[in-house]
Amino acid sequence: MLMWLTISFRNIIKNGRRSLMTVLAIALGYAAINLFQGYVHSTYEGLTNAAIHGEGLGHITIFKKGYLDQGKLHPERFQFSKDEVERISGIVRKEADVQLVTPRLSVSGILSNGRSSTIFIAEGLVPADDKEIRGDLSRYASFSGSYLDDKERAGVVIGSELAAMLDLKVGSDAVVLSNTYSGMANALDAKISGIYNTGNTATNDKMLLMTFRHSQDLMDFSGAERLVVLLKDGRNGKNLLSVLGRLEKDLADAGFSVEMKTWNELSVFYKQVKNLFDMIFLFIFIIVMVIVVMSVVNTMSMSVMERTREIGTLRALGLKRPGVKALFATEGALLGFLGSAIGFVIFLTVYALITAAHPTYVPPGSSNPVPLRVDLVWPVLGRSVLSLAVLALLAAYVPARRSARMAIVDALGHI
Amino acid sequence: MSILEFKGVTKDYRLGETTVQALRGVDLSVGKGEFIAVLGASGSGKTTLLNLAGAIDDPTSGEVSMNGRNISGLTDNEKAEIRNSAIGYIFQTFNLVPVLTSLENVMLSLQIRGGRTADIRNEASRRLDEVGLADFMLHRPDKLSGGQRQRVAIARALVTRPTLILADEPTANLDHQTAQSIIDLMKELNEKEGVTFLFSTHDQRLINEVKRVVRIDDGKIVQ
């Protein structure tokens, strides 16, 4: 094997210029794939974080069975009662991987400053629990005022566009108006305790956060629409599904008819972005694959043509057909490895430049610039080396097979 | 006892629409330790005869046997094993692998067979030493003269201790003095080690050294 590696390596060096073009094609392909993968990984991480913590979805959301199909039509039928909230929360808290479980109530209605009004969508949430899920929003630069506090029951936090539309400032008084589940209109006083940029143009002009008790008052309801479960650090991924399975069983055993959704099932934006990026990645990978395969096939075909007499000699010396195939396939794989190695250096150089330059951009649907980041994902970098080497090996196999099938007499007589 | 035997061997080649009869019913027996020259004009069938003897081509009809075993009907892998273990080749154009050193070229046949690299290296070094190239083991073919390259090819042919060495015009590409040294070396190996040589040649000096001449004309052995 060492001899075949030696022959392959020296032939690559011998045909330096031709090999360099092939190796560069593979290197640029490797760098392109991994820079995009690193960017996608960073984006997925950001989106995951944004969905679980930023959007406050937590890891798992528990709904009453049927809510997702008919909850908007008949909300009163698919709410958890106060007693159900307490009992379900008790069961969920017993799960070792659960950090907290908290009730939520969605409200929509009209926000008024006394002179004009506009629609809002609101989340009624327990301030202390929400701080645990989202972190302290008031620490962000785009946040002004203070966050929700159970002591300030009528306090609300609103999107900056919504505040601008109604000329509301921190400390301003307002009125929230909504329909209760029984269909009655209900209005309550509200005080603007905080204003923030939601980061999403679609929600920044209508988002309102209120305390859970305030939302219960507005809806004239003592229960909750759903329960949000936050798992302990590092319990996302495979653990998430096993926790989900255990909770489903525990709640079913206790006689509750519920349905549960994970954060990625609920975050439409995450799913859309992931599908888009997966499609773009597939497109880039196919282009790189075609370039790599064509380069390697071309190089190896020329190599086979130039070394026909050598093939005849090796066969005359007793090398079997699989041995000839292995010889050229080894050369193809070596081209793949060398290309990947140089591609890795190119990747690291671009990675270092991006890390040093901190470029930012405003993605579609976002109201804030976000940093352009590329993650170092070692398993992906390693897998790419292997994939390109295997791809180059397979590409080399076609001319290698042709060379192995050549009649020895013809190969020896080749000029 | 014959180590190589041709019985009624014919070989046809298709050249477009026409069929060329390269060999027409050849019978030949080569005994152990013989030093045989095959003579004939260009296109007479010398190379075809050597190709069939070396199991790198198949006869159209007839039988080619080596050590009593018919090699014509063997599979490709079986023929490769015979070529590796029982036959050594010396080509007119040396056919060394250009990216390998002299030593590595000689090691090739043994590497194909398999074995401990250290043993293979020792055996190849010994053979190179025998052909007078002890100081050129790490030279690549392009740094060697024609005579030195042919010596490497002879060492490569010898290294597996084959039953038979086939040489196709081994001195054709060499100058007078070098050709003589190659002839002397082959003769010495034949006499001292009992290596059997079957070679095609036009070189009168080589013909003068042989014990037996096989003359071939238009695909038939005439003498």
Name all domains of chain B by residue range, CATH numbers in brackets: 2-221 (3.40.50.300)
The whole-number average pLDDT for the span B42-66 is 91
pLDDT digits (tens, 9 = 90+) for A209-225: 999 999 999 999 999 99
Q: How many residues does chain A have?
A: 415
Q: Which residues of A190-210 are buried (b: 16+ CB within 10 A; e: fewer)?
A: bebbbbbbbbbeebbbbbbbb
pLDDT at A404 (0 to 100): 87
Across chain A, mean pLDDT equals: 89
Give the closest-approach CA distance of A343 to chain B in angstroms: 27
Q: How far apart are CA A390 and CA B133, in angstroms?
A: 41
Interface contact flag, A412 B156, Cβ < 8 Å: no
Q: How far apart are CA A340 and CA A338, in angstroms?
A: 5
Can you give the pTM of this predicted structure? 0.73
Residue type for A361, please?
A: Y
Residue type for A252, please?
A: A
pLDDT digits (tens, 9 = 90+) for A299-326: 888 888 888 899 999 999 999 999 999 9
Chain B's closest residue to A315, CA to CA, is: B80
Hey, which residues 58-117 in chain B have their CB within 8 Å of chain A?
76-77, 80-85, 89, 91, 93, 95, 97-100, 104, 107-109, 111-113, 117
**Number of other residues whose CB lies within 10 A of the CB of residue A169:** 11
Q: Which residues of chain B lie closer than 8 angstroms to A312, CB-CB?
A: 95
Chain B's closest residue to A1, CA to CA, is: B111
Q: How far apart are CA B140 and CA B94, in angstroms?
A: 13
User: Phi and psi at residue B38, in whole multiples of 5°?
Assistant: -105, 120
pLDDT at A365 over 80: no
Q: How far is CA A207 from CA A87, A188, A201, in A?
A: 30, 17, 10
Find the CB nearest A10 among B99, B109, B156.
Answer: B99
**A263 contacts: CB under 8 Å, gap ≥ 6:** A48, A51, A52, A57, A58, A59, A60, A61, A270
Q: Residue A141's pLDDT band (boundaries 50, 70, 90)?
A: confident
CA B211 to chain centre: 17
Interface contact flag, A7 B99, Cβ < 8 Å: yes
Question: A360: phi > 0 → left, psi -120 to 50 → alpha, else beta; which?
Answer: beta
pLDDT at A343 over 60: yes
Give the closest-approach CA distance of A402 to chain B in angstroms: 16
Q: Which of B20, B42, B76, B99 is most worth mutating to test chain A (most A CB atoms within 10 A of its CB)?
A: B99
Q: Which residues of A285-320 are buried (b: 16+ CB within 10 A; e: fewer)?
A: beebbebbbebbbbbbbebbeebbbbbbbbbbbbbb
Interface contact flag, B97 A313, Cβ < 8 Å: yes
Coil, strand or helix at B9: strand
User: Phi and psi at residue A193, in whole multiples of 5°?
Assistant: -95, -25
Q: Is A282 near chain B, with CB under 8 Å?
A: no
Q: Is A128 near chain B, with CB under 8 Å?
A: no
Q: Residue A366's pLDDT band (boundaries 50, 70, 90)?
A: low
Give the closest-approach CA distance of B81 to chain A in angstroms: 6
CA A415 to chain centre: 57
pLDDT at A367 over 70: no
pLDDT digits (tens, 9 = 90+) for A81-110: 999 999 999 999 999 999 999 999 999 999
Interface contact flag, B57 A320, Cβ < 8 Å: no
Per the CB < 8 A criterion, the answer to whether A232 and A200 are in contact is no
pLDDT at B1 over 80: no
